[in-house]
Structure 1
Amino acid sequence: MTIRRVKIGDREGWDPLWKGYQNYYEVDLTETTENTWQRFMEPDANGPFCLVCEGESGELIGFTTYVFHAHTWHPEPRCYLVDLFTTSNLRGKGVGRALIEAVYEKADLHNCSQVYWLTQDFNEAGRKLYDKVAKLTPFVKYQR
């Protein structure tokens, strides 16, 4: 498998992954999909950025998105891994780990002090991986 930045010709392969992500989290992001895609094609210095995982036969089998941002606790920026999704039949096969490690590499190149992300508590498959590649924090999320 190959991890690389998403490109314009990937739209047909990315759309089903994006839909699968939405279905998994039971959300409808139809209204923002086109805007999100366009921002991937012309990201500013902070993103959002999108990496895709290409399978052996060239099909897209996963993606991740991330952004960089300033923070008050460190002079270096932080990296927020926004989205991560792999096709269901390949979960547990290293695709998610490879995508996370690719974001770690991008964050290191950007001199980030931290890479972090959120997930739903019901995401058992994801959390098994996350427990291996990162440290669970005690933070609780609030939102308006």
Structure 2
Amino acid sequence: MTDTTLHVRAVARDDFDAWLPLWNGYNRFYGRFGETALPEHITRTTWSRFFDGYEPMHAFVAVRGERVLGLVHFIYHRNTIMEGPICYLQDLFTVEDARGQGVGRALIEAVYAHAKDSNASRVYWHTHETNHTAMRLYDDVANKPGFVMYRKDI
């Protein structure tokens, strides 16, 4: 009998081959493919940071049975107006055929739990203004503080 329960857990070193297609899918969604793809050394560096105890970067995967359905990456950092750390949910991606099945929500909730256990007082993230599917979920699982993100790539 196949386990149909969704499990969220930290990535393990031997998850790389299952994680990589999701990472590539996430990057493709944001236009990083073909000539604009991330260099392989960036992907390898990102992967290695998840297992470096000196890095504040973490990764979870959502698994049903033997299949990895989604990923989330998050980073802790200091903030000038709070005593403890805050958590930036940097990347969230699910395979297309698992969308709408609670995978993204489970990944976000796992980050919330980890942040709480790590004494972080806030989890925040950004998404592209055209990512309407994800925004429906985000509107349901997060407070909307009214801030707008500005950025300049340098």
- The two structures have a TM-score, normalised by structure 1, of 0.93
Task: Answer whether contact 1:4 1:52 (CA < 8 A) is retained.
Answer: yes
CA distance in 1, matches of 2:64, 2:39: 26
Compare 34-43 and 108-117 and name the one that shifted more. 34-43
Aligned mate of 1:72, from 80, 86, 92: 80
CA distance in 2, matches of 1:8, 1:92: 28
Deviation sequence 1:119-143 (CA, Å, 0-9, x none): 0011111100000000223222222
Matched, 1:114 2:122: yes
Structure 2 letter corresponding to 1:42: D
Q: Which runs of 4+ in 1 moved over 4 A?
A: none
Q: Structure 2 unaligned runs (5+)?
A: 1-5
Matched, 1:36 2:63: no
What aligned pairs does 1:1-144 form with structure 2 within 5 A after superposition?
Answer: 1-27=6-32, 28-31=37-40, 32-44=42-54, 47-56=56-65, 58-144=66-152
CA distance in 1, matches of 2:102, 2:8: 12
Structure 2 letter corresponding to 1:97: R
Q: Secondary structure at the match of 2:28?
A: helix
Deviation sequence 1:50-105 (CA, Å, 0-9, x none): 0001112x111100000111111111210110100000111111000000000000
Higher alpha-carbon Rg: 2
CA distance in 1, matches of 2:103, 2:109: 10
Structure 1 letter corresponding to 2:10: R
Deviation sequence 1:15-41 (CA, Å, 0-9, x none): 100010011111222341010011112
Structure 1 letter corresponding to 2:129: D
What RMSD, in angstroms, separates the aligned Cα atoms of the two structures?
1.2
- The two structures have a TM-score, normalised by structure 2, of 0.88
Q: Structure 1 unaligned runs (5+)?
A: none
CA distance in 2, matches of 1:94, 1:30: 31
Task: Answer whether contact 1:49 1:65 (CA < 8 A) is retained.
Answer: yes
Task: Answer whether contact 1:43 1:49 (CA < 8 A) is retained.
Answer: no
Q: Which residue of 1 aligns with 2:3?
A: none
